[in-house]
C-alpha cells in the first residue's frame, strides 16, 4: 500500500496554550460574545455603495459596494452587490456550536489581513505519539473571510507539539482536508459528525504516514535532492535545475538543511524522512517571512501551506524509494 501576502495579525486571544505562542491567556468558558471581545473581533461589516468621478465632477455608481468595518469605518474590500457577508457574531456562534457538538476546545481567535479574515482554532481531543515522545495534536481551523465570493472554511491542521509546527495533511489521493460552509443555512449537527469523521480518518492516515517516514532513512545525496524539490532552483525562472551539492541549493534550501540538526525535536527520528520533513515545516513556520505575523498567516492560508504540502508529498516519494 502506497504511503502515498504580507498579512497582519490585528488581534488574537488564546484559550490555554496557543500552537504558535501568539495571543493572551483567557478562560475556557468564554461565550462567543466574550471571545469576540477578547480577540478584538466584536465588530460588524456593512456594505456601502461606491461611486466614481466622471469628468472630474459627476459621481456615478460603480455597481460594486465597499465592505466597511463598524469599529473604525475602515474599508476592508469591495464586493458585488448580491454578496452578503457573514457577521462575526454569526460566525463565532457557529464555531461555538461546532466545538460543543464535536467535543472540541476553542484554542485561539483573532483577525488577519487587516480584518479581512476572522479565524478561530479549536483543538480536537485526539493526538498521537511517535518515537517515544514526539507528540502531534489535531486541530480544526475555522475562518470567516470578509472577501467577495468566499465562505466559512474549516480545515484540519495537525500540530507537532515539540516545535509547534503546523503540518500539512494533503496526503496523496486525499485532497479533501476540510469543508466550506454556507452561513445562510441553519446549523446542522449531522454536518459536524461528518466533518469530525473525516478529521478522524485523515488524522489516522497522517499518523501512519508519520510512522512510515520515521522508519525510512535518507542519504546525503537524497536529502540534497529533496530540498531542491521543495525549494527548487530554476533557470531563468522556468526550468528546474538538477542540484547535487549543498552549495547549489537555493538560499531557503540551504536554510532547511542547516536547521535539520538544530530544530526543536531534531532528536526524534534523526536521519529519517520525518526529520527532513520537519526541517521544512520548522523553517516555514518559524523563520521564513519578515515577521511572525506573515509566517503564521502563510502557514495557514498562503504559500507556506502549499510548500508544506509539497514537502510532505516529496518526503513520501523519497521514503518509498529508499
The answer on 204 and 113 residing in a single domain is: yes
- Higher-pLDDT residue of 240 and 229 is 229
Which domain covers residue 128, as residue numbers? 11-42+85-211
Same domain, 161 and 223: no
Residue range 13-25: mean pLDDT, rounded: 50
pLDDT in tens, 146-198: 988 788 888 888 888 877 667 765 444 444 456 666 656 565 777 777 877 88
Which grid cell sits at 320? 518509498
Q: Is the pLDDT of residue 243 over 70?
A: yes
First to last CA, the chain: 15
Give a yes or no: residue 156 inside a domain: yes
Q: Could you give the number of structural domains in the chain?
A: 2
Q: Which of 273 and 26 is assigned the larger pLDDT? A: 273
Q: Of the candidates 176, 211, 246, which is a domain's last residue? A: 211
What SS3 class is residue 15? strand
* Cell numbers describing residue 21: 505562542
Digit-coded pLDDT (tens) for 114-146: 888 898 888 888 899 998 899 998 888 888 989
- Looking at the fold, whether 141 and 169 belong to one and the same domain comes out as yes
Q: Please tell me whether residue 134 adopts helix, strand or coil conformation.
A: strand
Do 189 and 237 sit in the same domain of this protein? no
Q: Kindly state whether residues 105 and 238 are assigned to the same domain.
A: no
How far, in Å, CA of 270 to CA of 53, rounded? 64
Residue 24, pLDDT above cutoff 60:
no
| Average pLDDT of the residues of the chain | 82
Contact assessment for residue 102 and residue 80, using Cβ atoms and an 8 Å cutoff = no
Element (H, E) at 143: strand 134-145
Whether residue 243 sits in one domain with residue 191: no
Residue 1 is assigned to a structural domain of this protein: no
Q: Are residues 233 and 129 in the same domain?
A: no
Amino acid at each position: 500500500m502506497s504511503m502515498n501576502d504580507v498579512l497582519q495579525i490585528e488581534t488574537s486571544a488564546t484559550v490555554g496554550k496557543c500552537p504558535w505562542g501568539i495571543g493572551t491567556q483567557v478562560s475556557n468558558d468564554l461565550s462567543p460574545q466574550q471571545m469576540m471581545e477578547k480577540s478584538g473581533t466584536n465588530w460588524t461589516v456593512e456594505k456601502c455603495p461606491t461611486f466614481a468621478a466622471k469628468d472630474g465632477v459627476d459621481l456615478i455608481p460603480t455597481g460594486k459596494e465597499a465592505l466597511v468595518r463598524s469599529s473604525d469605518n475602515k474599508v476592508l474590500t469591495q464586493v458585488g452587490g448580491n454578496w452578503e457577508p457573514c457577521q462575526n457574531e454569526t460566525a463565532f456562534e457557529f464555531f461555538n456550536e461546532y466545538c460543543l457538538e464535536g467535543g472540541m476546545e476553542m484554542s485561539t481567535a483573532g483577525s488577519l489581513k487587516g480584518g479581512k479574515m476572522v479565524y478561530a482554532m479549536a483543538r480536537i481531543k485526539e493526538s498521537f505519539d511517535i518515537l517515544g515522545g514526539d507528540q502531534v495534536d489535531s486541530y480544526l481551523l475555522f475562518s470567516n473571510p470578509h472577501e467577495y465570493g468566499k465562505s466559512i472554511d474549516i480545515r484540519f491542521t495537525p500540530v507537532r507539539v515539540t516545535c509547534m509546527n503546523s503540518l500539512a495533511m494533503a496526503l496523496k489521493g486525499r485532497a479533501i482536508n476540510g469543508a466550506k460552509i454556507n452561513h445562510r443555512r441553519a446549523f446542522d449537527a449531522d454536518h459536524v459528525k461528518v466533518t469530525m469523521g473525516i478529521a478522524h480518518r485523515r488524522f489516522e492516515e497522517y499518523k501512519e504516514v508519520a510512522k512510515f517516514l520515521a522508519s525510512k532513512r535518507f542519504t546525503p545525496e537524497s536529502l540534497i535532492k529533496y530540498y531542491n524539490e521543495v525549494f527548487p532552483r530554476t533557470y531563468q525562472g522556468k526550468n528546474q535545475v538538477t542540484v547535487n551539492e549543498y552549495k547549489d541549493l537555493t538560499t531557503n534550501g540551504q536554510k532547511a538543511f542547516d536547521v535539520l540538526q538544530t530544530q526543536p525535536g531534531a532528536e526524534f527520528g534523526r536521519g529519517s524522512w520525518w526529520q527532513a520533513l520537519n526541517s521544512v515545516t520548522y523553517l516555514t513556520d518559524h523563520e521564513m517571512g519578515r515577521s511572525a505575523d506573515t509566517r503564521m498567516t502563510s502557514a495557514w492560508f498562503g504559500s507556506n501551506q502549499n510548500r508544506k504540502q509539497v514537502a510532505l508529498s516529496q518526503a513520501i516519494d523519497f521514503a518509498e524509494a529508499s
